[in-house]
Amino acid sequence: DSGVTQTPKHLITATGQRVTLRCSPRSGDLSVYWYQQSLDQGLQFLIQYYNGEERAKGNILERFSAQQFPDLHSELNLSSLELGDSALYFCASSGTGTAPYGYTFGSGTRLTVV
């Protein structure tokens, strides 16, 4: 157990729908990062939050949004889902907002859009 908790582990939904992925960072970590991993692909950075504030943005689609709550858990919202959104979505946490040293990943949410 890495200490980073992601729910749900698996999600199957239809095109056009909206889903929310949840991440609880490791205790004491203030930064949360979201990554997308498509089949046999690398990890694509989506967005980072630090202590509730958006800190960095990657190639995140406008249909996707995220937030970090006062208790530091984060949610990634994916809307108007398309088949191509099927992927593994990983959350990682670290203790500092200025550098990703000590990244710890969760076990991911596998999203399947049918």
Partner 1 sequence: GESVGLHLPTLSVQEGDNSIINCAYSNSASDYFIWYKQESGKGPQFIIDIRSNMDKRQGQRVTVLLNKTVKHLSLQIAATQPGDSAVYFCAENIQGAQKLVFGQGTRLTINP
Nearer to partner 1, 33 or 64 (CB): 33
Rounded CA separation 86/31 (Å)? 25
Check residue 56 for interaction with partner 1 (CB under 8 A): yes
Q: Which of 15, 17, 38, 41 is in the footprint of partner 1 by CB under 8 A?
A: 41
Residue 45: how many other CB atoms lie within 10 Å? 16
Total residues at interface with partner 1 (CB under 8 A): 27
Q: Which of 13, 22, 45, 95 is in the footprint of partner 1 by CB under 8 A?
A: 45
Check residue 74 for interaction with partner 1 (CB under 8 A): no
What is the DSSP pairing of strand 10-13 with strand 109-113? parallel
Which residues are at the interface with partner 1 (CB under 8 A)? 2, 4, 33, 35, 40-45, 48, 55-56, 58, 90, 92, 97-101, 103-108
